[in-house]
Amino acid sequence: MAKVALITGGAKGIGRTIGLDLAAAGWDIALCYRTSEREAAETAARITKTGRRAIAERCDVSDPAAAEAFVRKVEKEFGAVDALINCAGPYHRINILDETPAGWTEMFAHNLHSVFYMSKAVAPGMKARKAGRIVSFSMANADQMVAQTEVTAHYIAKAGVLILTRTLAKALAPYGITVNAISPGFVNSGSAPEAELAGMVKKIPAGYVGELKDPVAAVRFLLSDEARYVTGTNIHLSGGWGI
């Protein structure tokens, strides 16, 4: 029986590429999105062309009831969720002194609260099977807790993801479940202008911007049997930026 991966923010960018890679390796894929309906349909179609099953559904995973309902739907249709990959993580740039209460709340809801809701929803099934993988995306310098005047709430939420990852790892380890984080720096995922990425190269010790294959490889490792004893860790994926 094929393994099942649930990917939030799986319609495009890093989430899409992870889903396509896992589908090629024999996984069935359930992905959810908030706004990228066309991209989600395209991604699902590409997955089914490989012979794997796909679910693509609009779901605001910052809503705990919606998050749980989607997990229950995937479990009903696919039988299980073997891996949860929390890729959803929108951000906006605004000076901290100009941030609104709504904008502040939104960043925490979509970057941190959603990870908690989704992880809590998949945990019972994983615990019952004594197996499971949870991978969440943070950002490369989130563990440095430096001042971020233009992406403040997003940054604090991503630091929170690291604490939540370690906490869930400790709570779920007795059940054979691993929980880890991946913290990208600059990766050309299609969401940032090429000129902006090119301008960042001089700040990256490795001297180049990451490619989509880099987070894919990190996820592939964390979902593998070779990573069975790896939990509560944070993989910096940044070419040395932000460490």
Q: 188 falls in which pLDDT band (50, 70, 90)?
A: very high
Condensed to tens digits (0 to 9), the pLDDT of residues 26-83 reads: 999 999 999 999 999 999 999 999 999 999 999 999 999 999 999 999 999 999 999 9
Residue 196 pLDDT: 79
Average pLDDT across the chain, whole number: 96
Q: Exposed, middle or buried by CB within 10 Å (0-12, 13-18, 19+), for 187?
A: buried
Residue 193, pLDDT above cutoff 80: no
Percent of the chain with pLDDT over 70: 100
208 is catalytic: no
Domain 4-235 belongs to what topology? Rossmann fold (3.40.50)
Determine contact, residues 114/67, Cβ cutoff 8 Å.
Answer: yes
Q: What is the pLDDT of residue 190?
A: 78
Q: Rounded to whole angstroms, how far apart are CA atoms 211 and 40? A: 21
Task: State the catalytic residue, choosing from 155, 175, 208, 229.
Answer: 155
Residues 112-144 pLDDT 10s: 999 999 999 999 999 999 999 999 999 999 999
- Per-residue pLDDT band for 192 (boundaries 50, 70, 90) equals confident
In this prediction, residue 199 carries a pLDDT of: 86
Residue 195 is predicted with a pLDDT of 78
pLDDT digits (tens, 9 = 90+) for 94-108: 999 999 999 999 999
- Helices marked H in 33-90: 37-49, 64-78
Instruction: Tell me if residue 14 falls in helix, strand or coil.
Output: helix
Residue length, the chain?
A: 243
Domain boundaries, the chain: 4-235
pLDDT of residue 198: 82
pLDDT at residue 200 tops 90:
no
Q: What 3-state DSSP class applies to 205? A: coil
Contact assessment for residue 26 and residue 50, using Cβ atoms and an 8 Å cutoff: no
What does the pLDDT read at residue 36? 92
Structure token digits, residue 194? 């090429």
Q: How many CA atoms lie within 13 A of 218 on its CB side?
A: 23
Tell me the C-alpha distance between 182 and 140, whole Å.
8
Q: What is the pTM of this model?
A: 0.97
Is 119 exposed, middle or buried, given 0-12, 13-18 or 19+ CB atoms closer than 10 A? Answer: buried
